[in-house]
Amino acid sequence: MSDLRPTGTGTDLDPWLATYAERASGLAASEVRALFAVASRPEVVSLAGGMPYVRAIPRELVAGAIDRMLLADAPAALQYGSGQGLPRLREHIVEVMAEEGIAASPDDVVTTTGSQQAIDLVTKLFIDPGDVILAEGPSYVGALGVFKSYQARVVHLPMDADGLVPEVLEAAILEQRAAGRTVKFLYTIPNFHNPAGITLSAERRPRVVEICRRLGVLIVEDNPYGLLWFDAPPPPPLQTLDPEGVVYLGSFSKTFAPGFRVGWAVAPHAIREKLVLAAESAILSPSSFNHLLIAEYLETVDWRAQIARFRDVYRERRDAMLAALQTYLPNLTWNEPNGGFYIWVGLPGELHSKQMLPRAVRELVAYTPGTGFYADGSGGREMRLSFCYPTPEDIAIGIQRLATVVNGELEL
């Protein structure tokens, strides 16, 4: 029998290398992933990941909801469900969104496997190779990975303290069009930005929406952190200003727990229908078990109080990080986020956040280098610090260690 299977050559041990689709070349493992494996050792203070502090949820609350949910209808929990998501859960999703001022009906909602899958499905629906996606610079690393895998061209828009700059947005759209490119959508994280910590001001929101509407550019609004404000709620979502021009993404990952992998999209009718078809083709139906469980939790637990507890936990940690930065690293620059998980830090001198990371891990502290948050790998002068997971005491220790690293590098 002849064997036409390819064999690996040279240093490449994957015999199927020449067989992959072109889009698979965008699926490269992050260069810092190996270091993060080291950073997950318990002696390392990790200011790197964006992991919610799920220990703040009493275990009995979840266990009780699982019990009740199975007693009520175990066969439904164990069965396939509706591709769009359990109607009962979509009713609650509408209530959660109403907290932020969104008026939608359960029919407008399609659930996804975390909002990450919603990003994937929207990109799949709209992007042909070479199409332009506008995104803040820096932007969410997980979205950039999706955009790359669909061979989009990401054009970053710099922010100032008030977020996206409307004039810069308009100029970028016109410039890309003048260069003969197709601008498909603006991907934006208006609240407590990941990684920049910035919130788009109330004054700019209608201007951003007006520009996109006038120039015919869809907005993809990613809002996993909006309910996690510390001082005052952020301004209403862009979706409230133009429901026909915005695909809005939400998630239970930060307000409940990411382990359930339940997020959602709210989209204008025609887009929503396509999203349901795309979701069905990807996963048939979401997890009925998780949908029933979250519905049960939302119906029987005071989830607003739980979100308020999360706010208290994260506010205290933000304060601890800001105080530690002030004490140990006054030569760095940073912003003061009013919610969410992240502080974006600028490094002094010629320091490079990616090159400095191995030294930081040796000093038992980890952070995320700025380079992952730009499609072109720039951002070496910046880093993201997460305050969501470590305790305030560990945050102080971590920042102190980071100061040893930074000051050591500056002396080189």
Binding stretches for ligand PMP (CB under 6 A): 50, 114-116, 140, 142, 189, 194, 222, 224, 251, 253, 258, 263
Q: Where are the alpha helices (DSSP H) in 127-236?
A: 141-149, 166-178, 205-215
Nearer to ligand PMP, 321 or 364 (CB): 321
Residue among 335, 337, 321 nearest 396 (CA): 321
Residue 260 has phi, psi (to 5 degrees) of -80, -20
Question: Least separation, in Å, of the C-beta of 134 and ligand PMP?
Answer: 16
259: its two tokens: 């382990």
CA distance 249 to 324: 33
23: its two tokens: 């889009």
Residue-wise DSSP of 55-86: GGS-HHHHHHHHHHHHHHHHHHHTS---TT--
Nearer to ligand PMP, 112 or 353 (CB): 112
Nearer to ligand PMP, 81 or 263 (CB): 263
- By beta carbon distance, the residue nearest ligand PMP is 114
Nearer to ligand PMP, 149 or 176 (CB): 149
Task: Supply the angle between the helices 288-300 and 87-98 in degrees, to the nearest 10.
Answer: 50
Question: Least separation, in Å, of the C-beta of 293 and ligand PMP?
Answer: 16
DSSP state of 131: -
Nearer to ligand PMP, 137 or 328 (CB): 137
Question: Least separation, in Å, of the C-beta of 142 and ligand PMP?
Answer: 6
CA distance 369 to 379: 8
- Identify the three-state secondary structure at position 267: coil
CA distance 338 to 99: 17
**CB–CB of 230/342 below 8 Å?**
no
Question: Least separation, in Å, of the C-beta of 307 and ligand PMP?
Answer: 15
Question: Least separation, in Å, of the C-beta of 318 and ligand PMP?
Answer: 16
Question: Least separation, in Å, of the C-beta of 140 and ligand PMP?
Answer: 4
Question: Least separation, in Å, of the C-beta of 194 and ligand PMP?
Answer: 4
Nearer to ligand PMP, 113 or 288 (CB): 113
Nearer to ligand PMP, 123 or 194 (CB): 194
